[in-house]
Structure 1
Amino acid sequence: MGQIKVEKNVGGIQGLCVIEPTVHGDSRGYFMETYNENDMKEAGLDMVFVQDNQSCSTKGVLRGLHFQKQFPQGKLVRVIKGSVYDVAVDLRSDSETYGKYYGIELTEENKKQFYIPQGFAHGFLVLSDVAEFCYKCTDFYHPGDEGGMAWNDPEIGIQWPQVKGSYQGSASAEGYVMEDGTALNLSDKDQKWLGIKDTFKF
């Protein structure tokens, strides 16, 4: 027991957690438990995961901001190769931090995990040449249920590291580059999302 350290409510946002596993290393390499249900419950985290996903992306790829509308997912995310800047945006209409975001760099070196509960939009930007990204979900992927928001919405104001460019009124990646000249790379779908005010009209 006690193989993880949990920092709760990071960034002052209820429910967001940064989880650091205990790494046992020597000259041969290392071992760590990437998930242990007993340790999670001991830390007050009792979510149940039903699906594991993995993606590989190149530098400048930005995926997000995504959420499921009728079947919201909690996600436990980590990086096993390279580095990403990972972001969660609070979309809970009754939350004191609605519309606020928290971002964290996840790398193969720091081995940190980020838990994003239901009710958040999620996205990440690849900072390394290549990144392999893994995450556990509390609900299954439901085709046709995916929603999204503009990654560069000025109302949210995410400070994506190493990104140069200015908002031109849409989620288009045109005009945005990384500091080393790498073009920002978004899917066609992610360049068509709207800002938070147009996505949610309470």
Structure 2
Amino acid sequence: MTGISDAISALANLLMAGAAIAGAFAAWVGLGSWKREKRWQRDVELGEDLLVLMFQRRDAVANIRVSVYSYDPITTDEEGREFTNRSEGEFQGLLKYYQEKVDRLEVLRSEIYGKRLRASVVWGEKINELLHKLFEQEQQLIVNIQRYLRTSNPRLPDPQRDAAAHRVDYDILFDDEEELDEFKQEYDRRFEPIENLLRSKLKA
């Protein structure tokens, strides 16, 4: 009887050990699945946030480049004194028009910056490389806005205004729906791999 009891006891211990191992394995598998699920949720959330911001950024660039625009001249300075020179009011209105549009782009860049850093940590530097190329082209637009504003600034001497006018690239500054818009084509070419990378993070 003792031998049978020992055998039963050994079998029970073996079964208990097996159950513990199976339980540990199941817990390990479950933990791995949970980690993968959390990582996927993180990628989806970050990818969606960045993708929406990038679409808004692209729209902001397009909004800056509209070739048909209007603005209201500003009649008084910051201290409430009326401009005696109409050209000054016209220039201040134009300056405000572009400043608001560029500010919108800068706000989006700032919102993207933190998420861009997080994305580079979890996904690698590819996202930074692609965004840098896009930023370079956007800077071309900003530079041409600055030159264009100098051509309209009545406070500058005519030679300086003329020099600025000769340096403005109007194909960059304004969109063109009738002819080939090379700036937009190049922007879309640089934008596409960013969109593809972010969309790839949304897939299960």
Would you tell me which structure has more strand in proportion to its own residues? 1
TMscore range, shorter length:
under 0.3
Specify the structure having the higher radius of gyration (Cα): 2
TM-score (norm 2): 0.19
**Structure with greater helix percent:** 2
